[in-house]
Structure 1
Amino acid sequence: MKVLFAASEAVPFVKTGGLADVIGSLPKALVKQGTDVRVILPKYEDIPAKYVERMEQVASFDLQMGWRKQYCGILKLVHEGIVFYFVDNEYYYRRRGCYGYGDDAERYAFFCRAVLDAMPHIGFIPDLIHCHDWQTGMIPVLYRAHFSYQPPYAHIKTIITIHNLKYQGVFDKEAFKDYFALGDDHLHGYALELHGGASFLKGGLLYSDYMTTVSPTYAEEIQTPYYGECLDGLLRSQNHRLQGIINGLDYEEFDPMADPNLEVRYRDSYPKKQQNKLKLQERLGLPVNKEVPLIALVTRLVDQKGLSLIDRVIAELMQLDAQWVIVGTGEPRFEELFRWAAAANPDKLSAQILFDESLARQVYAASDMFLMPSLFEPCGIGQLIAMRYRSVPIVRETGGLKDTVSPYNEETGQGTGFTFTNYNAHDMLYTIDRAVRLYRQPDVWANLLANIKKKDFSWRKSAQQYIDLYESLVPSVKV
């Protein structure tokens, strides 16, 4: 089985969010199970020099995009056993960051076209193209319109994975006509039209052979108006080819026994975990006290992450017998909220308004609890890292949070964290207060950590689900 992943970012080359973690780790799990998976990405300026220096050019050709004839180079790099291809065009990609430019429609139109055009040049015609998020959404459309009848391509199947339905790649219809050489028949309401323009993502959903998203609960949620971002009707009508597969975690990358960022490495030793807590309290200027529970947030400071709930009850949260550490950047109002709370409560809260991967790992290792009160969460990686580092999650029951964290039941002793259902500040406050109270009961806490230890959130099971899906779409080829 030959599979080509098309995506706009991947760890360790470039990252803006959880998509990069998936593209950096899922192919490794699939390769271990016998699939030939390769990845194709844009060659951005921000890719570290140590990777660029190892790339070799394997192809260059002229790419026709509408009336434009553009240079397209393909570079290749083998990293951790995975073949990565990079689409090179300095006009489109030699600039800082990935997104947010006025010509993003043209930049990712070029990328979608390059993915399909490059295949004969690199000597890799896959059985299946696995597209990820809006930036690759037009690949299935282009394949159907221009490539599916050509002999080298005719057998290919396409899948698109929705990592976050909120981002849909909506641009002016005229741009789609121009860049993709599509007629009006592609641009009405039953095709690409969305919000008065046209959508990359909608194209991927309509024209791919199958759709997945990153958790079973999110797959259900996006078929409702509240979570559906105006695409719920389409998703309901096509739910026979929609599946939610939970994201996994790279257990080699996130391993408290081998993490070089930690002061004290550990696996299931609670005393060693506590040593990390004492060292972090000292580093951040919080009172050094192992008896006080430390609650962490490592997150983008944006409304999606449920920070409005924290804003609503910040005074009550500061009255709990607990310490807090916040790591992240985002919307100014939330950055200011946490700076203010830290200044007003220096013995209770440390606000690290920055992105620091090393500090984030130390916080996972040091914290007793990890809060994710998200408004919506397609999958979430924070709660998976937290459990890997034996920090007990406190989450709202939405998307992947609901699928990965089971509520603790004091009667049965079952459960791996604390959960609340409604997007309500006082429900969250009550749940955090309950967690803080149960922290004072060593038997309860030891039982919670034992329950977490039994869980496996590595990619192994999810990778097998993808393989089963691939084989159902390409039945003649077995992994």
Structure 2
Amino acid sequence: MSQKKVLYVSQEIYPYLEETNISNTSRYLPQAIQEKGKEIRAFMPKYGNINERRNQLHEVIRLSGMNLIIDDTDHSLIIKVASIQSARMQVYFIDNDDYFQNRETLVNAEGLEYDDNDERSIFFIRGVMETIKKLRWVPDIIHCHGWFSALAPLYIKKGYADDPCFKGAKVIYSLYDESFNKSFQNGFAEKLRFDGIGDPEIEKVKERGMIDYTNLMKLAIDFSDGVVQGSEKANPEIIQYIQEKGVKFLPYHSDFDKRVEEIDAFYEEIDS
């Protein structure tokens, strides 16, 4: 039996950003799953406040150089990589001068959310997908962490549905106790337009109305094969939506080792 492959798409990974529930999970879960015999890849955005020298990031020239068109504008895709030596784990970073290089994380120095976080999220997700294609690495499971990764299920199931790297992949989305204040801009749905994302998909997004945090989570759940509760508290409306949709759901477990065992078993269940 071939070694199963798990792709982690995370909005933050420790130690490149400060410790949070999401960054710690995105750091230690891939390591634990790798130690269970699975092959892993991990991706996050290369925010401007990540110190490249201290964290020993370097550009991967053979993977960089592509342009992604978002809202009729070209944006250059830059791929960087660093290693967490103690975990024998590489982390790939999605970078771009406009969206990431001269920015903080998802908020600026004053703590205000960026107006174009919708476009930044689209660029991040499509950048991950295009990099995986270049690596010719075919994941069995794609596990997404943080709202900045919430568009991944849509792109995997629709935009890249016929691509050999993704057509067999199962998508798992982790739901955390997080949110954002600034709803996505008007015109967001049209920015999603891509190969397999045409008028029917865009109309469904428009029908949701303003894309706030709750509607973004529902959009992620619509295209996910399973949902993991990643923190003790989660939005009850979203939990109810998961139940109504009949999506496979793994509740939160406070003990990390037990959580790893349950998630590993969940991967097997989803991929069976």
Question: Normalised by the size of structure 1, how large is the TM-score?
Answer: 0.49
Q: Which of 233, 254, 257 is residue 460 of structure 1 equivalent to?
A: 257
Kept after mapping to 1: 8 A contact 2:80/2:94:
yes
Among candidates 34, 38, 56, match of residue 35 of structure 1: 38
1:48 maps to 2:86: no
Match of 1:396 in 2: none
Counterpart residue number, 1:65: 70
Given candidates 180, 188, 204, the residue that maps to 2:220 is 204
Are 2:163 and 1:128 aligned?
no
Helix, strand or coil for the counterpart of 2:121? helix
Match of 2:201 among 179, 183, 186: 186
The alpha-carbon distance between structure 1 residues 164 and 72, as it changes in their structure 2 partners (threshold 3 A), is: same
What is the match of residue 160 of structure 2?
A: 147
- Secondary structure of the residue aligned to 1:197 is coil
> Any idea what the Cα deviations from partners look like across 1:349-408, whole Å, max 9, x if unmatched?
xxxxxxxxxxxxxxxxxxxxxxxxxxxxxxxxxxxxxxxxxxxxxxxxxxxxxxx5xxxx
Match of 2:131 in 1: 118
Q: Which amino acid letter does the alignment assign opposite residue 200 of structure 1?
A: L
Cα offsets for 1:400-425 (capped at 9, x unmatched): xxxx5xxxxxxxxxxxxxxxxxxxxx
| Mapped partners of 1:197, 1:56: distance in 2 | 34
CA distance in 1, matches of 2:264, 2:30: 11
Query: Identity of counterpart residues, as a percentage?
Result: 21
Contact 1:130 1:159 in 2 (8 A): yes
* Structure 2 alignment gaps of length 5 or more: 107-112
Using the alignment, how far apart are the partners of 1:209 and 1:36 within structure 2? 20
| Shift, 1:120, TM fit | 1.8
Unaligned runs of 5+ in 1: 247-403, 405-456
- 1:393-472 to 2 correspondences below 5 Å: 404=254, 457=255, 459-472=256-269
Query: How many pairs align?
Result: 255
* Change over 3 Å in CA distance of 1:52–1:16 after alignment to 2: closer
Say what the alpha-carbon RMSD is for the aligned residues: 2.6
Write the distance in 2 (CA, Å) between the matches of 1:152 and 1:473. Answer: 18
Greater relative contact order structure (CA < 8 Å, 6+ sep): 2
**In 1, Cα distance between equivalents of 2:56 and 2:89:** 17
AA matched with 1:244? P
Q: Determine helix, strand or coil for the equivalent of 2:94.
A: strand
Aligned pairs (5 A) from 1:157-236: 157-164=170-177, 166-167=179-180, 170-181=183-194, 182-183=197-198, 185-187=200-202, 193-194=207-208, 196-197=210-211, 199-214=215-230, 218=233, 227-228=235-236, 230-236=237-243
Distance in 2 between residues matched to 1:201 and 1:110, nearest whole Å: 18
CA distance in 2, matches of 1:16, 1:203: 27
Report what 2:109 is aligned to: none
Shift in Å, 1:192: 6.5
Aligned match for 2:7, one of 4, 7, 29: 4
Between stretches 82-91 and 144-153, larger displacement belongs to 144-153
- The reply on whether 1:473 has 2:270 as its aligned counterpart is yes
Q: How far apart are the structure 2 equivalents of 1:211 and 1:169?
A: 24
For the structure 1 residues 463 and 233, does the alpha-carbon distance in structure 2 shift closer, same or farther, using more than 3 Å as the test?
Answer: closer
Worse-matched range after superposition: 123-132 or 168-177: 168-177
Change (3 A) 1:109 1:54: closer
Q: How many angstroms apart in 1 are the aligned matches of 2:206 and 2:269?
A: 27
Secondary structure of 2:42's match? strand
> Does the 8 Å contact 1:170/1:200 carry over to 2?
no
Matches within 5 A, 1:283-294: none
8 Å CA contact 2:9–2:145 kept in 1: the answer is yes
Residue 25 (structure 2) aligns with: 22
* 8 Å contact from structure 2 (residues 132, 165) kept in 1: no
CA offsets, 1:135-173, max 9 Å, x none?
111111012222112233211111100112544984135
Moved more, 164-173 or 87-96: 164-173
Secondary structure at the counterpart of residue 130 of structure 1: strand
